[in-house]
């Protein structure tokens, strides 16, 4: 399974969505796979785990275009 | 920016009647709600309540009393037994039709294997109907994209409000997650990011009337139903499970279509600012769909297993009204109609 973006913050809580993104609460910044740093402007953000998002590091729902077997699994959490 | 044209309808104006039911409601509203009057039984029979302009205008007007109300109309009408008696008759007809229309899909989702979240997403991803977003994204011309924006404004300018009515009807855990979503819908503390406001900016940037309900007299029943069906669910404690399911289905069918809507807006050469609303929803709703399906619906059904069918029902009602809207709009475009005004057949007042 591909790498996922890193969430930075003092009290980061995560929740993996089977077949979908990683939900993150409490993050202040997110580091994308290309090293770029993004400020978090929402109370909860969804980080792409399928590497198909057109708005990486954020999820854009693109995992739904993948066949279910190729979507990210619930076990793939740091 | 060019001046925004007006449809001639000011916010707070009553809609134009389109038949005896809406005429009856408007006639009542011109009077005094504190004067007792008879509870009138109306002929509310309708072959297809989702395509019935008169019924939908009457219901939209009745529900609007619970939202913004009307200029010069006594707000006391909101809880008038005479109006509630009318509303109940209309809702019964609409509900009977809707429950029948979506029963096969709801039954299948109840019977399918897997947890609620996987069955919920499956229902949303496989619901039968045309893809309006594909047409807007890839084929629609400029006039059709503008038409689409005008139709959607009837709901989008009150986006999130009907679902907010359900908040006090939920347990703490469900409530906490729902409000997390609604907080984002209402701009997360920044008034300029309120989604309703983002849509108004989309309308103005597209050169359309950005006023609340500006196009209500110009759109047909199927467009009004996008607002009335969710208002019915939100206003009835009895339908709290369906209201929550409706919200989750809105979120679960938003990210990918909004990417196509934004692409369509840019493809026909409309300003970038018109696409901002859709860009925002690609990202926001990728979060909201997970929260709404897994945490809001999930926690509700864990605490109240008897509401599982209502949650799936609410989702199916959202999907069904969207399909009816898409079919109406695509049929109008196939007939060569792209005017965001004057499509509805009016019955002279």
**For strand A44-47 and strand A22-25, is the pairing parallel, antiparallel, or unpaired?**
antiparallel
Mean pLDDT of chain B: 94
A30 touches chain B (CB under 8 A): no
pLDDT grade, residue A10 (50/70/90)? confident
CA angle (B206 as vertex; B203, B210 as ends), nearest 5: 25
Alpha-carbon distance of B63 to B45, in angstroms, equals: 20
**Is B312 within 8 Å of B302 (Cβ atoms)?**
no
Q: Does B209 touch chain A (CB under 8 A)?
A: no
> Over the stretch B303-339, which tens digit does the pLDDT of each residue have?
999 999 999 999 999 999 999 999 999 999 999 887 6
Q: What is the pLDDT of residues B69-79, one digit of tens each?
A: 999 999 999 99
Picking from A26, A43, A74 by the largest number of B CB atoms within 10 A of its own CB, the best residue to mutate is A43
Q: What is the percent of chain B where pLDDT is above 70?
A: 96
Percentage of chain B surpassing pLDDT 90? 91
Q: How far apart are CA B315 and CA B252, in angstroms?
A: 9
Q: Tell me the Cα Rg of chain A.
A: 12
Which of chain A's residues have a Cβ under 8 Å away from the Cβ of B184? 42-44
Length of chain B: 349
Cα separation, B85 vs A56, whole angstroms: 52
Distance from CA of B252 to the nearest CA of A (A): 9
B342 pLDDT above the threshold of 70: no
User: 3-state secondary structure string, A24-48?
Assistant: EECCCEEECCCCCEEECCCCEEEEC
A15's enclosing H/E stretch is: strand A13-16
d(CA B21, CA B83): 11
Q: Which CATH superfamily is domain B114-334 in?
A: Heme oxygenase-like (1.20.910.10)
Vertex B46 angle, CA B49 and B62, to 5°: 55
Q: Is B267 exposed, middle or buried (0-12, 13-18, 19+ CB in 10 A)?
A: middle
Tell me how far apart the alpha carbons of residues B15 and A29 are, in angstroms, rounded to a whole number: 48
Q: How close is the nearest chain A Cα to the Cα of B184, in Å?
A: 7
Tokens of A45: 């953000």
B294: which residues sit within 8 A by CB, 6+ positions away?
A17, B117
DSSP states along B129-162:
S--HHHHHHHT--HHHHHHHHHHHHHHHTTTTHH
Could you tell me which of A18, A23, A13 has the C-alpha nearest to residue A58? Answer: A23
Give CA–CA dist B340/B150, Å, rounded: 6
pLDDT, residue A68, reads 85
**Cβ atoms < 10 Å from Cβ of B314:** 30
ipTM for this prediction: 0.87
Rg (CA), chain B: 20
Q: Is B167 on the interface with A (CB under 8 A)?
A: no
Report whether pLDDT(B1) > 60.
Answer: no
Task: Give the pLDDT score at B146.
Answer: 95
pLDDT confidence of residue B339: 62
Searching chain B, which residue's CA lies closest to the CA of residue A44? Answer: B287
**Smallest Cα distance from B335 to chain A, Å:** 32
B3: which residues sit within 8 A by CB, 6+ positions away? none
């Amino acid at each position: 399974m591909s790498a996922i973006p890193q969430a930075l913050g003092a009290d980061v809580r995560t929740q993996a969505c089977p077949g979908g993104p990683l939900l993150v609460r409490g993050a202040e910044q997110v580091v994308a796979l290309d090293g770029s740093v993004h400020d978090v402007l929402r109370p909860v953000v969804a980080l792409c785990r399928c590497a198909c998002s057109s708005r990486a590091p954020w999820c854009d729902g693109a995992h739904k275009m993948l066949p279910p077997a190729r979507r990210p699994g619930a076990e793939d959490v740091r | 920016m060019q001046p925004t044209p007006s449809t001639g309808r000011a916010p707070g104006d009553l809609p134009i009647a389109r038949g005896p039911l809406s005429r009856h409601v408007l006639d009542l509203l011109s009077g005094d709600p504190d004067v007792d009057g008879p509870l009138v039984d109306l002929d509310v029979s309708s072959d297809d309540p989702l395509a019935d302009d008169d019924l939908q205008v009457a219901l939209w007007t009745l529900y609007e009393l619970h939202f913004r109300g009307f200029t010069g109309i006594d707000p006391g009408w909101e809880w008038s037994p005479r109006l509630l008696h009318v509303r109940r008759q209309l809702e019964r007809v609409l509900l009977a039709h809707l429950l029948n229309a979506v029963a096969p899909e709801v039954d299948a989702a109840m019977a399918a294997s897997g947890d609620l979240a996987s069955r919920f997403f499956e229902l949303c991803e496989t619901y039968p109907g045309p893809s309006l977003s594909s047409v807007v994204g890839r084929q629609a011309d400029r006039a059709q994209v503008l038409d689409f924006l005008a139709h959607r404004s009837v709901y989008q300018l009150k986006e999130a409000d009907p679902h907010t009515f359900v908040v006090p009807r939920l347990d703490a855990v469900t409530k906490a997650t729902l409000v997390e979503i609604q907080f984002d819908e209402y701009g997360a503390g920044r008034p300029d990011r309120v989604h309703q406001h983002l849509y108004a900016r989309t309308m103005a940037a597209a050169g359309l009337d950005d006023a609340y309900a500006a196009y209500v007299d110009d759109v047909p029943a199927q467009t009004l139903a996008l607002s009335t069906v969710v208002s019915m669910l939100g206003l009835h404690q009895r339908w709290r499970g369906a209201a929550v399911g409706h919200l989750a289905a809105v979120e679960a069918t938003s990210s990918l279509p909004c990417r196509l809507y934004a692409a369509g807006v840019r493809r026909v050469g409309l300003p970038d600012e018109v696409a901002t609303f859709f860009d925002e929803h690609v990202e926001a709703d990728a979060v909201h769909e997970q929260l709404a399906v897994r945490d809001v619906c999930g926690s509700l059904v864990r605490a109240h297993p008897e509401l599982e069918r209502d949650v799936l029902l609410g989702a199916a009602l959202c999907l069904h009204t969207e399909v009816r809207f898409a079919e109406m709009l695509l049929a109008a475009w196939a007939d060569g109609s792209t005017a965001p005004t004057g499509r509805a057949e009016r019955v002279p007042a």
